[in-house]
Amino acid sequence: EGFDVVVVGSCMTDLVSQAPRLPKAGETIHGHKFFIGFGGKGANQCVQAARLGAKAAMVCKVGQDFFGENYIQNFKNNGIATEFVGQTAKAATGAASIIVNDAGENAIVIVAGANMLLGAEELRRAEPALGGAKVLICQLEISPDTSLQALSMARERQVRTIFNPAPAVPDLHPDFYRYSDVFCCNEPEAELLTGMAVGSVEDAGKVGAELLGRGCGSVIVTLGPQGCVVLSSQDPTPRHIATTTVTALDTTGAGDSFIGALAFYMADYPTMPLEEMARRANQVAAVSVQAVGTQTSYPFRKDLPKDLF
Ligand code: RIB
Ligand code: NA
């Protein structure tokens, strides 16, 4: 109880190959490095929030296997509460096969496994923690019903919600918009959800307005090196929040770093304008793209400029 940030979401073991480019269908190419890391959008966001100083808890499911055991230890190492991390013998810990090219771009296939077995029973058990949290974050790497139920529980209890529709589906249940205080997605996700192409900051403002019209409190469309666009029901004019130019080594999980940071600011600086939170979250995510890996690249509070706090 008394958590700043609760995440109801996914854990994945990231199996990462670095290669000069992404292979084509039927093609084999040589890569130069392979490593295993802790990933999954839900866990990534939780870890970034915790590293900035949020008191965080994770509600998730892993397998009764080596990867699951390791993941629980990873949460502990990051100071994240694990009493709502379940283990199941019915499925394996989620896995993500990731290829990162020399431009730092990636392609990912996830096999959600145990993540899909997180359901109503686990939510009921986590209800006191969820209901007492300042911010709840959900994504789409678990069953969508579970995400929707968690968001609805948060809404009933005046907990602020961030919803990240990733990986995106074209026919998202309309309640996801209504239950989102902040609806945060990237360009391809925005395109899939609206059928509108996003090729510029201006386009991002237009899709943002479309998504806002579906009932969200506010919308953030992240734009990689271009920062993000922010709009809200109180101020529906799209605002472009630019970010610092950096050399990207690995952008995997940069969006999760942004969302974890955003949740930290929403919880710890409740009166800060959303645009300022987004500006600071941009800075945190910009640090993450300059190092290899997902969570391994996420900065701690002590490593960041003081003016971000
Ligand atoms: O957003 C990045 C994450 O997506 C990776 O860590 C991978 O696990 C996939 O879930
Ligand atoms: Na990174």
**Of 124, 40, 103, whose CA–CA distance to 247 is shortest?**
103
**Of 2, 1, 6, whose CA–CA distance to 264 is shortest?**
6
- SS3 labels along 149-208: HHHHHHHHCCCEEEECCCCCCCCCCCHHHHCCCEEEEEHHHHHHHHCCCCCCHHHHHHHH
DSSP labels for 232-269?
ESSS-S-EEE-------S--TTHHHHHHHHHHHHHHH-
Q: Which atom of ligand 1 is nearest to the CA of 256?
A: 1
| pLDDT at residue 6, rounded to an integer | 98
Marked catalytic residue, from 4, 181, 256, 268:
256
| pLDDT at residue 105, rounded to an integer | 86
**Of 112, 175, 186, 182, whose CA–CA distance to 143 is shortest?**
112
CA of 250 to the centre of ligand 2 (A): 4
The pTM score is: 0.97
- 256 labelled catalytic: yes
Tens digits of per-residue pLDDT, 11-66? 999 999 999 999 999 999 999 999 999 999 999 999 999 999 999 999 999 999 99
CA of 187 to the centre of ligand 2 (A): 18
Q: Kindly report the number of other CB atoms within 10 A of residue 194's CB atom.
A: 18
Mutational pocket test of ligand 1: of 38, 139, 252, the residue with most ligand atoms within 8 Å of the beta carbon: 252
**Percentage of the chain modeled with pLDDT above 90:** 96
Q: Which residues line ligand 1 (CB under 6 A)?
A: 12, 14, 39-41, 44, 96, 108, 110, 141, 252-253, 255-256, 294
> Which residues in the chain come in under a pLDDT of 50?
none
**Of 148, 132, 131, whose CA–CA distance to 140 is shortest?**
148
CA of 2 to the centre of ligand 2 (A): 30
* Phi, psi for residue 241 in degrees, rounded to 5: -110, 100
Q: Which atom of ligand 1 is nearest to the CA of 37?
A: 6
Atom 6 (ligand 1): residue with closest C-alpha? 39
195, 188 contact by CB (below 8 A): no
Q: Which ligand is nearest to the CA of 287?
A: 2
Q: The complex's ipTM?
A: 0.98
The 3-state DSSP class for residue 17 equals strand
CA of 134 to the centre of ligand 1 (A): 24
